[in-house]
Chain A
């Protein structure tokens, strides 16, 4: 009995280094941010949050964050749905190749991606010029909100395909045949069977894409050198900028960002409970 106690003791001792590191680099910074978001010049309170929500500048940053995240997730998931579905209908050689390529491009993000887009879609970008000459577009500004949505959509696609492709397993081929036998057309099949079955997976993927876009910093920073007003840029500017530093305000905005993500997750859980579930 004595030896089993000491082996448990050894086992607990093995957990100590991990706990220390995890606490120092993950928990402690988060606790610091959470507590200092309540730290104002006049003492402890909600002053930072009041200031964040009453300032037009910070509200614009939040709005930009939400808009870019929402539209890029929507376009990203739409392309991923169509792509994943078609990937299931082509030969396995083509499918494996494109899936592998898609997984590879998920590593193509951040600063390198921003540079690639400047070359392709910047003011003198090859694609910008081509589309202008073809008369498809009048002008395109990559450094605007629209430009950011295009760029974010690109990095959402591989993640969307990765998460959605397995979800189509839930959709059995014999259901489609049964629906057809009963006289349903393609639209009715998707409206009444396909989409309801896929809903939980679609919601889950959409939430992950939203979170992915909300927290993204490297791409937009490299593209606009921090000149586009969006939450992650505002937060970072207040702790590392040259002009004025306000770690407490940065903490409050960081908590707003974390709060938005939490809110999205809660809504997701709520929707999930109300959606149709496949019983297997």
Chain B
């Protein structure tokens, strides 16, 4: 036995707990801060209270920003589904060779940082045929590109799992048209996979700040921009905001994981 193996279980357990602690600390700090009456220049806070959460959830500006974020994210996800589903169906059923091209194209939103795209977006949409800079519409368009690589991969895996060609052939044999087969047979089979990818995409779109701040900012204040604008407010208040935001995202990923487990 090597020395590494002798100290194995305890040593590795310690490392894992340490990793957990490192990842937990910022969240725990924020949670405690959001629950404390005041906490400055000491290691521990002086008392605990829920008043910051009460203040936050009764702030109409917060609720409005929260609603706007939900609207933009779900709008973008609806658009993404509307554009990606026909694309995927057509690519997989009619032009399988296009999949290679698509796999390169969907790398672009990954590889190009939003701050780079923003430079071009700001000039292109400030005037001209589509003057949507400063409106939620531009965010819907941009968020579609952010969700694209993820949704494309997730739905492709799903389509391959259900044997699209056999399913379509069977539907055709039974007399269904291609449209009818796509809507009545393929789509229901993809439902669960779609829901999972929508929930997971939502969790990272909800936290998007770069496009929201540069392209729209306070003209249509979303949650992340609101959070940034409140930076000079009480730190306890913003902590309550951060924790509330994180809890909401957690709920979404939890729902996605639950759905994922049900499938198997």
Using CB atoms and an 8 Å cutoff, list the residues of chain A in contact with chain B. Answer: 7-8, 10-12, 14-15, 17-18, 21-22, 24-33, 36, 79, 82-83, 85-87, 89-90, 94-95, 98, 100-105, 107-113, 115-120, 124-127, 129-130, 133, 154, 157-158, 161, 180, 185-186, 211, 214-218, 221-222, 225, 232, 235-236, 239-240, 247, 250-251, 254, 257-258, 261
Known: A116-B30, A214-B113. A98 touches B119 (CB 8 A): no
| Cα separation A89 to B7 with both chains bound (whole Å) | 11
Q: List 14 A-B contacts (CB under 8 A).
A: A11-B95, A22-B145, A24-B141, A86-B19, A89-B9, A89-B12, A90-B9, A90-B12, A90-B16, A100-B257, A107-B207, A112-B207, A112-B245, A127-B25
Return B175 CB to nearest CB of chain A, in Å.
15
B113 touches A14 (CB 8 A): no
Pair A116/B242 contact, Cβ less than 8 Å: yes
Distance of A133 Cα from B41 Cα, bound (Å): 11
Question: From DSSP, what is the main secondary structure of chain B's interface residues?
Answer: helix
- Distance in angstroms from A166 CB to nearest chain B CB is 16
Instruction: Looking at the assembled complex, report how far the CB atom of B256 sits from the nearest CB atom of chain A, in whole angstroms.
Output: 11
Produce 1/0 per residue, B115-145, CB < 8 A to A: 1111111111000001000000000011011
Contact of A21 among B90, B93, B112, B141 (CB under 8 A): B141
Partner of A25, one of B41, B116, B142, B178: B142
Q: Binding site of A, secondary structure by majority: helix, strand, loop or mixed? A: helix
- Assess whether B69 is interfacial by the CB under 8 Å rule: no
Complex-state Cα separation, A158 to B253, whole angstroms:
15
**Cβ contact within 8 Å between A101 and B24:** yes
Q: A83-B15, A86-B19, A90-B12 are in contact. Are A217 and B115 (CB under 8 A)?
A: yes
Chain B minimum-CB-distance residue to A94: B16
Residues in chain A near residue B123, CB distance under 8 A: 32, 36, 247
